[in-house]
A and B are shown apart, each in its own frame.
Chain A
Amino acid sequence: MHGTGIQSFGAYLPRLRLERAAIIEAMGWAAGLRAGKPQGARSYCAWDEDALTMAVEAARDCLSGHDRSGVASLVFASTTHPFADRCNAGVVAEALDLAQSLRTTDGAGHQRAGVSALLDALRNARIDGQQTLVVAADRRVAKAGSEQETRFGHGAAAARVGTGPDLAAEYVAEASLRADFVDHFRGAEAEYDYAYEERWIRDEGYLALMPRAIKTALGSIDARDVRHLLVQGPQRFATAVAKAATIRAEAVPADLHTECGDTGVAHPLLLLGAALEQAQGGELIVLAGFGQGCDVIVLRATGRAPAAGRGVSGSLAAGVANRDYVRFLANCGLVDVEWGMRAERDNRTAQPAAWRRHRDLTAFFGGQCRACGTVQFPLARACVNPQCRAFDTQDPVQLAEKHGRVKTFTEDWLAVTRSPPHVYGNVELEGGGNVFIEFTDVRPGEASVGLAVRFVFRIKDFDGVRGFRRYFWKATPVRN
C-alpha cells in the first residue's frame, strides 16, 4: 500500500525584484512609519505576466521530468485570477496540454485558498488515488506608499498530489478551523486590500486560532517533533505561533520576505517547496494556511524531493534586483503611462479563430510532417519544406518545452510594448522548426544571433476596449 502525499513541487517568481530601499526613497515622504525597514527586495511581474502566466510556469516546473498524463485534476488558487468569469485553471491546463478529461477548478476568494486546495487534493487522493495538480499564484497590487506595497511579492508555486512510491512528502494528518476573522479584505469591486492592526491580527487571529488547529491536526504527535512549521504570514507571527503550540523555535524558517516578499495565496506552498528542498527523510512538516480560519496539513518528508526543475531555490536565485520604482508602478498599473498613438491599435481577439487554433496558441503546438519530418509553426495544410510541400501530412507536436537559437532579432524602439524596446525575431528550434516570435525578459544588448532561448507563457496583448487579454509563448534567454 503506497502512501498519499506530494509527488513533486514547483515554483516561479518573476525575474524582476524591486529593492525595498527604492520604495522608501520614492515614497518614504508619504508612508512615514508604514514604510518599514528597507530590507531586501520584492518580486513583481513583468508587464506581460499575471497570476495565470506565473501559475503556468510554476506548474511546468512542478511537472518537469514527470509524466503529465496522470494528472486528473487541476486547481488554480489565487485571489488575483485575471478572469472573474472564465475558468482560469482551464487556461493553465490548456497551456500544459493536460488530458481532455481533466477536472479544472479555480480556488479563489481568500488567502488560505492555496493550502485549502492542497488539503482537498490530499483528501481526494486518499479516496481514489487520483493525481491533482495544485497551483497557487498571486499578483496582488497595493497602493503606493502602503505597508502592503513593501510586504507583498508576486509569485507562484505548484504541488503535484497523488499516491505512489516516490513521494517527496507523505500525508500524515490535517485539521481545519473556520472563523470569519477579518484581518483584511478586498471588496469584489475593489482594487486594493483594506487591512487592520497587526497586533490584533496576531493576538486574536493567529494566536487564538492557529495553535488550536495545529494541536488538533497533530493529535498524539508530540509538537516538539515538528521540524518545519510553515505559517502563512509574517515570520514574527510564526514564531509566536510556534511558542504557543510548543513547537521549537528553530522549526520556523525564514519567510522569504527579504528575497521576494509575501506572495499571497502562493506563499505557503512556496514555503513548503523551500522546506522540502532542505528536509531530511522522516522530518515532520506542519503547513498552516491562514485566512478566515486555518487549514493545517501535517506531512512527513521522505528526503526524496525531486530537483528536476528550478524549484524554490532556483526561482529565488533567478531574480535580478533593480531600483526602478516608477517602472514597478507602471507594471502594477499604478501610473497611466502614455504609449503613443500606435497603442490605440484594436487588439480584439477573433475568438472563433482562437478556438480553432487553441492548442497551437495556448499549448504552443506546431506540426511535424509525416512525409519529410519537418517541424513547423504554425501547423498548416501544406508542408513548409520547399522540397516537400505535401498536403495534410502534419501531426501536432508540442514546441513549448524545446529550446531554440536566435536566427535574427531586433530591439525595436518604435513598436508598441509596455517594456521598450520590443525585442523579437526568428528562432530556430532544436530538432527543427522556425518561429517568428516575441522575446521577453531580455535586456537591451543581451540578444545576439545564436543566443540559446527557451519559451515561456506570457500575455501577448491586452484588449483594453473589452477588458480581455490574450496569451502566447515568448522566447527568453536560457540562463544557467
Chain B
Amino acid sequence: MASGIRDQVAIVGMGCSRFGERWDCSADDLMVEAFTEAVADAGIERDRIEAAWLGVFYQDQSVARSGLPLSFALRLPNVPVTRVENLCATGTEALRGAVYAVAAGAVDIALAFGVEKLKDTGFAGLPERTKGTFEDLWQPGFTPPGAFAQLGAAYAARHGHSIADLKRAMAHVSWKSHENAVASPKAHLRNRITIEQALAAPMVAYPLGLFDCCGVSDGAACAIVTTPAIAASLGKRDMVTVKALALAGSNGVEMGHASWDGSHTLTSRLAAGRAFREAGITKPTEQVNLMEVHDCFSITELVLMEDLGFSAPGRAVHDILDGRYDRTGAIPCQTDGGLKCFGHPVGASGLRMAYEIYTQLLGRAGERQLAAPSIGLTHNLGGIPNRNVASVSVLGLHRG
C-alpha cells in the first residue's frame, strides 16, 4: 500500500503575477513576472531547476502547445518541460507533476508553472472550443456559467431551499470575495459590492447573475519545490510542505447515470476524501484553517462547502449566511478574493490558490493575514458539474 507523499516535498519559492486584463502583457511577460518573484523567494539560481511542468488550458489561445513556451520565456537550460492540461485543475496538475518528481527522487528541484493569456480573444468570457468530434454532435452548446448554473435549481430542489434563499447565500459568497480582494494587491477585481447589487445584477444563466460569475483574467503563478532537506540547506526555517495532492476524474456517471442528482460535485467529494487520508486529516472542520476553492461561480463555492465536508448536507446556505467562511469566520475561504475577484486565468488558478495558502501560512499576507494558520486546502473543479476533474491539495506549515 502506497504511503503517499505527505511532507516529502517542500515549497521553497512561489510567484504570482498580478491578475487582470493585462492588455500590455504577453504570456511571456506574465511568466517572467511570476518566475522572478519565485526564484528570488527560493533564493536559488535558475539553473538549479532540473525539470518543469507547464500548465496551460487554452492551447493556441495563450501560448503554443508543448512545454516549450515556458522553456523559451525563461530560457531554461534545456531541462525537460512537460506541458499538462486537466481543465481548470491544470495548475494543480502542474504542481502534482513537479511534486511527484521530487518525491520520486528523480530530481532535486522542480518547477510547477501555470499561465493563461485569455484576454487576447477580443471578446468577453472564455473562448469557444470544441468538445470533441462526437460530443459536438450532441452535447448542448453550453457556456461555463450555464453548465454550473445547473447546480442551482437542482440543489434548491434537493434540499428544499427557495431560489430566493439560495440567491441570497450566493450573493454573500460573492460579496465576501469582493471584500477580501480589497486587501489583495494582485487581485483582478478589487472593488466592494453590496448584497443588493449582487441580487439585482443582470441574469447570465439562471439562477446565476453577473456577480455570481468569476472574472476572466490573464495571469501566471508558479512554485519551486524540493525536498525538505534541500529546503533546509537553502536556509528555510518555517517551511511549507505538501501534505496531500489528490485528483478524481469523472467517468460518465454524472452525465449518464441516475445515481447523480445534479446538486453536488461527485469528484470533489472523492478527491477531498483521498486528500484528507493522505494528509492524515481526520477532522477537516477543526484541522483546516483556510481554503481556496474553485469558486468559478458562487453556486460552485456553495455546494463545495458540503462536498468538501465543511458544511452538513443542505446547510451550506445557512453556514455561508452566518459568515462561517468569511475572513473573520471559522474557516476563511478565498482570503485573496478567489477566482471570483483574484481572477481565473485557467492554467494558473491552481497555483494561485497554492500561492495564497503559502503566503498565509508563512505570515506574509499583509492586511488580510489570518492569525497563525497551519493547514490550508486548495480545490479545483475542472470541467462542468456533470463531467469534471477535481483536485484537492493540502499544504501545511512546519515551524523551524
A350 interfacial by beta-carbon distance below 8 Å: yes
Would A410 and B150 count as touching, CB distance under 8 A?
A: yes
Would A408 and B141 count as touching, CB distance under 8 A?
A: no
Q: A408-B150, A422-B146, A436-B386 are in contact. Are A353 and B137 (CB under 8 A)?
A: yes
Would B257 and A386 count as touching, CB distance under 8 A?
A: yes
A433-480: which have CB < 8 Å to B? 433-438, 448-450, 460-461, 470, 472
B139 interfacial by beta-carbon distance below 8 Å: yes
A-B contact pairs, 7 of them (CB 8 A): A349-B136, A350-B137, A407-B261, A408-B151, A411-B205, A412-B146, A461-B136
Would A376 and B134 count as touching, CB distance under 8 A?
A: no
Would B386 and A412 count as touching, CB distance under 8 A?
A: no
- Expressed in whole angstroms, the minimum distance between the Cβ of A363 and any Cβ of chain B is 12
Would B256 and A376 count as touching, CB distance under 8 A?
A: yes
A301-359: which have CB < 8 Å to B? 340-342, 344-345, 347, 349-350, 353-354, 356-357
Q: A350-B133, A357-B134, A470-B137 are in contact. Are A410 and B206 (CB under 8 A)?
A: yes
**Residues on B with beta carbons closer than 8 Å to the beta carbon of A417:** 141
B252 interfacial by beta-carbon distance below 8 Å: yes
Would A412 and B256 count as touching, CB distance under 8 A?
A: no
Q: A412-B143, A413-B203, A425-B150 are in contact. Are A342 and B255 (CB under 8 A)?
A: no
Q: Which 3 A-B pairs have the closest CB atoms?
A: A412-B146, A424-B140, A408-B262
**Residues on A with beta carbons closer than 8 Å to the beta carbon of B385:** 408
- Expressed in whole angstroms, the minimum distance between the Cβ of A255 and any Cβ of chain B is 39
Q: A353-B137, A408-B154 are in contact. Are A341 and B142 (CB under 8 A)?
A: no
Q: A340-B123, A353-B133, A408-B154 are in contact. Are A438 and B141 (CB under 8 A)?
A: yes
Chain A contacts to B: CB under 8 angstroms: 340-342, 344-345, 347, 349-350, 353-354, 356-357, 360-361, 374, 376-378, 380, 384-386, 407-417, 421-422, 424-426, 428, 432-438, 448-450, 460-461, 470, 472
Chain A residue at smallest Cβ distance from B257 = A384
Q: A354-B137, A434-B255, A472-B137 are in contact. Are A412 and B142 (CB under 8 A)?
A: yes
Would A361 and B150 count as touching, CB distance under 8 A?
A: no
**Residues on A with beta carbons closer than 8 Å to the beta carbon of B312:** none
Chain B residue at smallest Cβ distance from A380 = B252
**Which residue of the partner chain, among A376, A412, A450, A461, contacts B257 with CB atoms under 8 Å?**
A376
Would B125 and A434 count as touching, CB distance under 8 A?
A: no
Complex-state Cα separation, A347 to B258, whole angstroms: 31
Complex-state Cα separation, A341 to B147, whole angstroms: 20
Complex-state Cα separation, A243 to B23, whole angstroms: 78
Number of A-B contacts (CB under 8 A): 142
Chain B contacts to A: CB under 8 angstroms: 121-123, 125, 128, 133-134, 136-143, 145-147, 149-154, 156-157, 202-206, 208, 251-253, 255-263, 385-386
Would A426 and B150 count as touching, CB distance under 8 A?
A: yes
Would A412 and B205 count as touching, CB distance under 8 A?
A: yes
**Which residue of the partner chain, among A345, A361, A413, A416, contacts B204 with CB atoms under 8 Å?**
A413
Complex-state Cα separation, A409 to B385, whole angstroms: 12
Q: A422-B140, A460-B137 are in contact. Are A341 and B258 (CB under 8 A)?
A: no
For the A-B complex with A354-B137, A384-B252 known, give 12 more contacts whose Cβ atoms are closer than 8 Å: A342-B125, A350-B133, A360-B138, A384-B256, A409-B153, A414-B125, A415-B146, A424-B146, A425-B150, A426-B262, A426-B386, A438-B141
- Expressed in whole angstroms, the minimum distance between the Cβ of B263 and any Cβ of chain A is 8
Would A384 and B143 count as touching, CB distance under 8 A?
A: no
Complex-state Cα separation, A79 to B83, whole angstroms: 54
- Expressed in whole angstroms, the minimum distance between the Cβ of B59 and any Cβ of chain A is 16
- Expressed in whole angstroms, the minimum distance between the Cβ of A251 and any Cβ of chain B is 49
Would B150 and A414 count as touching, CB distance under 8 A?
A: no
Would A438 and B256 count as touching, CB distance under 8 A?
A: no
Complex-state Cα separation, A377 to B258, whole angstroms: 12
Q: A409-B150, A413-B204, A461-B141 are in contact. Are A353 and B259 (CB under 8 A)?
A: no
**Residues on B with beta carbons closer than 8 Å to the beta carbon of A410:** 145-147, 149-150, 152-153, 205-206, 208
